[in-house]
Amino acid sequence: MLSSSLPSLSKVQGWDPEQAGAILEKLFSSGYQIQDGQSLAALGSLVVGLSHTSLESIPAQVVLDAVKVPGFAKQLETVPPTLKTTFVEKLVAATAGFNDLVKYTPDGLVPYIPKSLLVPGDTFNIQDLNDKPWTPEQAAILFPDIIKRVPEIHSLSPSILQGVTCAVAADMDDERFQQLLSVLGQKNVQLSEEQLSCLAKRVLLSGPPEDFNNYPKDLFLFLRPSDLAGGENCKKYVTRVGKANIDVLERDSPQRKQLLSEALACLDIHDLQVTKKDAAILGHLVCDLGADYIAASGNNFLTQLNQCQSFTPEQIKAIQALLSSGRTSFGLPSTWSSSTLEELSGLLPIFDHSILQSIPANVLKPWLKDFLHRTHMPTEQLASVVKNLHPSRQKRNSGCPADKTITQEVLDDELMPLYYDNEELRQCLGDATLQANFNKISSYAFTEEQLMVLKEKLDRIYPDGYPDSVINSMGSLLSLMTPEDIKKWKLNSPDTLVALLDNAPDDEVAREIIQQYGKSGGQFDATALDAVGGRYMCSLTQGQLKTITENAIKSAKTLNIGGCPQTTKDILYPKAKRAYSDRHNEFPAYYNLIKPYLGGAPGEDLRALSKNNVNMDINTFKGLRKDAVMQLKPTDVKQLLGMNVAELKTQENDPFVRDWIVKQKQSELDTLGLGLRGGIPDGYIVVPDEEKKQTSGAPRAATIAHLLHLFAAFLLTLLLASFLS
């Protein structure tokens, strides 16, 4: 009987949902019932195959009792997103309130707790909160309430501290703000560009700091030497900037370019020669040195280049030429050892065919296998390495070589793509083997040519469209799928949508997937919104947007609609406003909840927000509805931006900001004290836009009559003034 095998089956790790689901179906058919927490927890690793319908039928208290059973909570980390959402809903229903929800929610489910439920209240267990892996968006909701009630900032974990907001920083007194900065630095809390920019402005409000040694390293990207006490010498300042994560800033941003320019001037580097001493001071800034610098003196800063996250095409060519030449302390690639590869491991993704083919195979392959066990390397990067390790000339079709038989050992080796060229893969990988091991094979770093071989086989095996087992494990194969392929799929499960979009397909493929999901009857619930809400939200049609419920928005993670058409923003904002209406008077929590949707907010709502110390960042401001912003006076905008109001000056040539400036009275702009110019001089008559648009017929005549009336009144005023004088 299957139930007798449950204790052993439930301990096997690595079940995929389809395998586990088939076992559970047989188990339930044999009479097994989930009646209490123990019987649910007994499923162990098989819980990944539990159907959404089955979970819905389980009482909430049973779920709560199950997560208390040692070991079961860990199993929930691997269940599909739809099940995670449902498990959280069950825990919300079974727990007495916020504190119990936090206490009993397993770590793997924490990101699925809706932000709207994160209301700590007056009493909470700080240790329970500290121990949870909150997302940055969740932390931003929690942080304002927690910081008010916890006197010792150093007692907070990085998971909580990452939620620091501009509004909270603005309200702090100088002493407590300095404590916050020190703790953020000591605990190496990772913050966004928006957060760091705001903290830097708050630093300057209280004058140059006396002690900034414990500040977050990345904060120095937003400060200048003149901002620091005693006018710290520029070399010390550049050293601090060099230790920061410059990828907080976009590579081609003016701010990042300025940092490098100032650093080179400070170090008196006026040619292409960068010494090892200079490179040590520049730190991560060397990542922005151009190809000319690399060609001229790259050997002096290869160590720093090894830590860079990305390069331009020109930089890549220069690094490849430098390494191939042997004019480095590492010598020619043909002489490299495993220790050399370890030192240059950060540059591995850009090694070209010539470099990789020159490295002794008995050095490279064992090192690469060990390296992959220790370090995660993106599949796309590893596939590039595999491609460059393959011989330039492929063998002709001659059947599968005797020494290339695909064994279980080969199937379990993530370097499998390295052992077969395209034709060998075609001849040696049988259809049955591919079907039985697709979940594993699809996770490996095959080249595009090898992926084409796999697709040919799948198309032959499944001529009428792929089954869910293949679609859910598509991996890099998704990049080869055409709209015609996708139209054959039945995509009505949110988990399938998540699995596909997690592969980050290009926008055209993603759009086809989303449309096919909608045509197949898929609902845009919280799980589906989480799948599309990062990069693909703009692919939804107006009809699909209108089906989104307020509850789905409330339960979903943060949706990114900043780059979407105005119609998308206009449809979603009222839904979000209603979804979070129960927290409408709670600031800054309400602002953090509604912020992603503000691009659809009318002027009166923005004016209401401006009265609540929200300290809106300039990018959010530029993403607002233009007609709504044009209704705001300078005093409204000053209140809305708070500490960020000075950004209007730095952005005054931006078309959006410029259009707002020219609509304002110059005298009112002057009250901001920013030196903004281009407003309407006092005494000028402003004709409303709607009147300007009237160009013919009665409306035009009415406008002319109105202006003549104003002109007559103006002349009468002049005559009276002359008479009285």
pLDDT at 205: 86
- Reported as type and span, the H/E element at residue 138 is helix 136-149
**Average pLDDT for 205-210:** 74
Distances (CA, A) of 126 to 67, 106, 120, 151, 684: 21, 16, 10, 12, 59
- Reported as type and span, the H/E element at residue 417 is none
Instruction: Report whether 588 contacts 144 (CB < 8 A).
Output: yes
How large is the angle between the packed helices 60-67 and 81-94, nearest 10 degrees?
100
In the chain, what percentage of residues exceed pLDDT 70? Answer: 93
In the chain, what percentage of residues exceed pLDDT 90? Answer: 85
**Alpha-carbon span 437 to 412, nearest angstrom:** 10
pLDDT greater at residue 698 or residue 367: 367
pLDDT at 10: 96
pLDDT at 702: 47
pLDDT tens-digit readout, 577-629: 999 999 999 999 999 999 999 999 999 999 999 999 999 999 999 999 999 99
**Average pLDDT for 26-33:** 94
Q: What are phi and psi of 724, to 5 degrees?
A: -70, -30
> What radius of gyration, in Å, describes the C-alpha atoms of the chain?
31
**Burial status of residue 415 (CB atoms within 10 A of its CB: 0-12, 13-18, 19 or more):** middle
pLDDT at 330: 96
With a cut of 60, say whether residue 656 has pLDDT above it.
Answer: yes
**Burial status of residue 84 (CB atoms within 10 A of its CB: 0-12, 13-18, 19 or more):** buried
Confidence of residue 696 (pLDDT cuts 50, 70, 90): very low
pLDDT tens-digit readout, 132-158: 999 999 999 999 999 999 999 999 999
Max CA distance (Å), the chain: 114
Peptide linkage before 7 cis (omega within 30 of 0): no
How would you label 450-471 residue by residue, b for 16+ Cβ within 10 Å and e otherwise?
bbbbbeebbeeeeeeebebebb
**Alpha-carbon span 202 to 223, nearest angstrom:** 11
DSSP 3-state assignment of 662? Answer: coil
Instruction: Report whether 276 contacts 299 (CB < 8 A).
Output: no
Tokens of 341: 């590869």
Q: Which residues contact 681 (CB under 8 A, 6 or more apart)?
A: 666
pLDDT at 1: 67
The CA-to-CA distance between both ends of the chain, in Å, stands at 111
Confidence of residue 711 (pLDDT cuts 50, 70, 90): low
- CA dihedral (433, 437, 442, 448) in degrees, to 10, reads -10
**Alpha-carbon span 454 to 474, nearest angstrom:** 11
pTM of the predicted protein model? 0.88
**Alpha-carbon span 319 to 166, nearest angstrom:** 41
How large is the angle between the packed helices 254-266 and 234-242, nearest 10 degrees?
130
Confidence of residue 211 (pLDDT cuts 50, 70, 90): confident
pLDDT greater at residue 118 or residue 123: 118
Q: Report the amino acid identity of residue 40.
A: L
pLDDT tens-digit readout, 400-447: 999 999 999 999 999 999 999 999 999 999 999 999 999 999 999 999
pLDDT at 18: 87
Max mean pLDDT range (224-228, 234-238, 656-660) = 656-660
- Tally Cβ neighbours within 10 Å of residue 662: 12
pLDDT at 467: 93
Q: Which residues contact 379 (CB under 8 A, 6 or more apart)?
A: 443, 444, 445, 475, 476
pLDDT at 327: 93
DSSP 3-state assignment of 9? Answer: helix
Name the residue among 388, 439, 393, 389 with its Cα closest to residue 412. 439
Q: What are phi and psi of 680, to 5 degrees?
A: -80, 125
Name the residue among 210, 207, 203, 205 with its Cα closest to residue 220. 203
Name the residue among 550, 584, 628, 618 with its Cα closest to residue 193. 618
pLDDT at 700: 52
- What is the rounded average pLDDT for all residues in the chain? 92
Q: What single DSSP character describes residue 429?
A: S
Length, in residues, of the chain: 725
**Alpha-carbon span 365 to 351, nearest angstrom:** 14
**Got the DSSP string for 505-516?**
--HHHHHHHHHH
HEC states along 573-634? HHHHHHHCHHHCCCCCHHHHHHHHHHHHCCHHHHHHHHHHCCCCCHHHHHCCCHHHHCCCCH
Q: Report the amino acid identity of residue 717.
A: T
Q: Which residues contact 701 (CB under 8 A, 6 or more apart)?
A: none
pLDDT at 212: 79
* Strand extents, DSSP E, 356-506: none
Helices (H) and strands (E) in the chain, counts: 46, 0
Instruction: Report whether 341 contacts 381 (CB < 8 A).
Output: no
pLDDT at 230: 56
CA atoms within 13 A on the CB side of 452: 6
Instruction: Report whether 566 contacts 599 (CB < 8 A).
Output: yes
**Got the DSSP string for 680-709?**
BPTTPPPPPHHHHT--SHHHHHHHHHHHHH
Q: Report the amino acid identity of residue 179.
A: Q
Mean pLDDT check: name the lowest of 74-83, 203-212, 394-403, 715-724.
715-724
**Alpha-carbon span 113 to 589, nearest angstrom:** 15
**Got the DSSP string for 150-189?**
-S-GGGS-HHHHTT--HHHHHHS-HHHHHHHHHHHHHTT-
